[in-house]
């Protein structure tokens, strides 16, 4: 049960997600011959690690999309004209399966420290300490740390580490993590769209996964922010908040839907993984309950959601912080999105994979910037840290809603999709390749969520 709670936490954190892009292959003007410069960098190869929970009995293939995306990125970057790769070397991705296990997770960190110049697309629920990464020694024996560009970061020590650069920035303002209350940020772009379309009288139920306190708090800090658009309790008002376990059957949702009846709710949101929304929609259909807005985030942008919900998925909104990769017009509008689909493979593309791919693009940008500054043999862990700290406005060549990578600040942008006739259709904004970025798309909330342990 404890491990299942950590799985829920990992998924909750995962769901709560640049102008410095350079050419794919940056070379120094002196045409110097590459040499071995640091751990993971030989004269011919540059090794990066992807640590992810895949092989396990609790949630099989949980973050398989991360190594799948990195394998695709390796093929993509090495296929570029002029020899491909980065810094005059071929990119090699080393996958370490953390197996949803604390010991395997630590072993993966140690192996990455020994073999790779950086960790990219990290997706490990049990990475609850960054000591092994921070104590990592470079080729000279100096403690420089291991540059980390994670997707899933469940622990605040990783989210707020000055040696980690999360592609899905933390909701917490790291400067307030030791204060009471803390400051949290929430992307509410889709909520503003709902109010513009349906009016400001939207109200309904919010369902939070509660397999751990941390999972519940993470969802409340991020997706619960829609109730505070325009000020405290001025947004999509809550008729009732409910908690649910990931293992609860559809029957557990009966009182949730009954509450919608009692309150004449016109809005409902499940903040957990898509089976929560499947259960809610099926139970609502059973009781004959409808709503103006059936709301879901990135977890529902998955063809498996439509397959599981069937006809009951119709009308569901699925908001993403990346361009919708199921939309052919978006693939045509954005070459990098098309590359993600092409090189990862139609059968392996997934929402989680987009984040891992974006992490690889951030690594590319840092390496290319350093090559431009000092040549192909100036790339080391230390200089990668230096360049990552200079990347602020970052959008992975336009596929991601822009974030402040170095500042660890989330975006005010999103794309809202809706299930229509069994397919995902982008509805806000409708123009392919673009995001909805309202000026007030991020709300600031004071919440004391770190006062007690999970």
What does the pLDDT look like over 254-281, one tens digit per residue? Answer: 999 999 999 999 999 998 889 999 999 9
Is the pLDDT at 380 greater than 90? The verdict is yes
Tell me what the mean pLDDT of segment 208-233 comes to. Answer: 86
Q: What confidence category does residue 361 fall into, taking pLDDT thresholds of 50, 70 and 90?
A: very high
**CB-based burial label for 334 (10 Å; 0-12, 13-18, 19+):** buried
Are 51 and 109 in contact, with CB atoms under 8 Å apart?
yes
User: Would you state the pLDDT for residue 160?
Assistant: 94
What angle (nearest 5°) sits at the alpha carbon of residue 46, between those of residues 44 and 51?
145
Q: What confidence category does residue 29 fall into, taking pLDDT thresholds of 50, 70 and 90?
A: very low
Q: For 182-320+410-447, CATH number?
A: 3.40.50.2300
Which residue, 336, 362, 360, 377, is CA-closest to 27?
A: 377
For the chain, the domains span 18-168+335-398, 182-320+410-447
Higher per-residue pLDDT: 453 or 215: 215
Q: What confidence category does residue 129 fall into, taking pLDDT thresholds of 50, 70 and 90?
A: very high
Share of the chain above pLDDT 90, in %: 82
Q: Give the pair of three-digit tokens for residue 40.
A: 């993971």
User: Would you state the pLDDT for residue 24?
Assistant: 40
Comparing 21-25, 61-65, 251-255, the range with the smallest average pLDDT is: 21-25
What angle (nearest 5°) sits at the alpha carbon of residue 50, between those of residues 47 and 54?
145
DSSP string for 71-94: HHHHHHHHTSGGG-SBTTBEEEEE
Four-residue CA torsion sign, 430, 435, 440, 441? positive
User: Would you state the pLDDT for residue 8?
Assistant: 52
* Tally of CA atoms within 13 A in the half-sphere of 364 that contains its CB: 32
Comparing 78-92, 126-140, 206-220, 311-325, the range with the smallest average pLDDT is: 206-220
Tell me what the mean pLDDT of segment 312-327 comes to. Answer: 98
Higher per-residue pLDDT: 2 or 407: 407
Is the pLDDT at 123 greater than 80? The verdict is yes
Is the pLDDT at 11 greater than 80? The verdict is no
Is the pLDDT at 146 greater than 80? The verdict is yes
User: Would you state the pLDDT for residue 211?
Assistant: 78
User: Would you state the pLDDT for residue 454?
Assistant: 39
Is the pLDDT at 13 greater than 70? The verdict is no
Residue 228: C-alpha distances to residues 234, 259, 415 (Å): 5, 21, 20
Is the pLDDT at 10 greater than 50? The verdict is yes
Is the pLDDT at 26 greater than 60? The verdict is no
Tell me what the mean pLDDT of segment 295-315 comes to. Answer: 96
Higher per-residue pLDDT: 436 or 14: 436
Q: What confidence category does residue 14 fall into, taking pLDDT thresholds of 50, 70 and 90?
A: low
Q: For 18-168+335-398, CATH number?
A: 3.40.50.2300
Q: Are strands 90-97 and 415-420 parallel, antiparallel or unpaired?
A: unpaired
18-168+335-398 and 182-320+410-447, same CATH topology: yes
Tell me what the mean pLDDT of segment 323-331 comes to. Answer: 98
User: Would you state the pLDDT for residue 27?
Assistant: 42
Tell me what the mean pLDDT of segment 51-64 comes to. Answer: 92
Cis omega (within 30 of 0) on the bond before 181? Answer: yes
């Amino acid at each position: 049960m404890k491990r299942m709670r950590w799985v829920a936490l990992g998924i909750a954190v995962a769901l709560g997600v640049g102008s410095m892009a350079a050419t794919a292959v940056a070379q120094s003007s002196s045409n110097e011959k590459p040499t071995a410069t640091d751990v993971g960098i030989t004269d011919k190869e540059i090794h990066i690690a992807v640590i992810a929970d895949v092989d396990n009995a609790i949630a099989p293939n949980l973050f398989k999309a991360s190594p799948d995306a990195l394998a695709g990125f390796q093929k993509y970057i090495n296929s570029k004209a002029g020899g491909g790769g980065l810094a005059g070397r071929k990119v090699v991705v080393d996958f370490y399966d953390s197996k949803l296990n604390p010991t395997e997770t630590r072993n993966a960190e140690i192996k990455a420290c020994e073999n790779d110049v950086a960790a990219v697309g990290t997706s490990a629920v049990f990475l609850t300490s960054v000591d092994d990464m921070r104590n990592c020694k470079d080729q000279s024996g100096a403690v420089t740390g291991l540059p980390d560009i994670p997707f899933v970061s469940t622990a605040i020590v990783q989210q707020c580490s000055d040696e980690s650069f999360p592609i899905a920035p933390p909701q917490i303002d790291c400067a307030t993590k030791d204060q009471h209350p803390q400051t949290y940020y929430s992307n509410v772009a889709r909520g503003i769209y709902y109010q513009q379309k349906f009016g400001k009288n939207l109200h309904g139920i919010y369902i939070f996964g509660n397999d751990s306190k941390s999972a519940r708090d993470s969802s409340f800090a991020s997706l619960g922010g829609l109730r505070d658009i325009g000020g405290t309790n001025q947004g999509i008002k809550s008729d009732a908040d409910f908690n649910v376990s990931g293992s609860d059957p559809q029957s557990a949702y009966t009182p949730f839907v009954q509450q919608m009846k009692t309150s004449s709710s016109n809005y409902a949101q499940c903040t957990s993984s898509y089976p929560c929304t499947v259960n809610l929609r099926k139970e609502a259909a059973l009781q004959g309950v409808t709503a103006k807005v059936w709301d879901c985030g990135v977890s529902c942008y998955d063809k498996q959601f439509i397959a599981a919900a069937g006809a009951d998925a119709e009308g569901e909104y699925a908001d993403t912080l990346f361009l919708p990769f199921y939309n052919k017009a978006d693939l045509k509008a954005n070459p990098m999105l098309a590359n993600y689909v092409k090189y990862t493979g139609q059968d392996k593309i997934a929402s989680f994979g987009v984040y891992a791919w974006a992490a690889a693009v951030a690594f590319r940008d840092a390496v290319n910037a350093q090559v431009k500054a000092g040549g192909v043999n100036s790339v080391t862990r230390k200089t990668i840290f230096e360049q990552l700290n200079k990347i602020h406005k970052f959008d992975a060549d336009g596929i991601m809603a822009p974030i402040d990578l170095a500042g660890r600040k989330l975006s005010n942008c999103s794309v809202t999709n809706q299930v229509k006739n069994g397919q995902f259709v982008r509805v806000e904004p409708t123009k392919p390749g673009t995001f909805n970025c309202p000026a007030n798309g991020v709300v600031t909330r004071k919440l004391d969520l770190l006062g007690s342990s999970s």
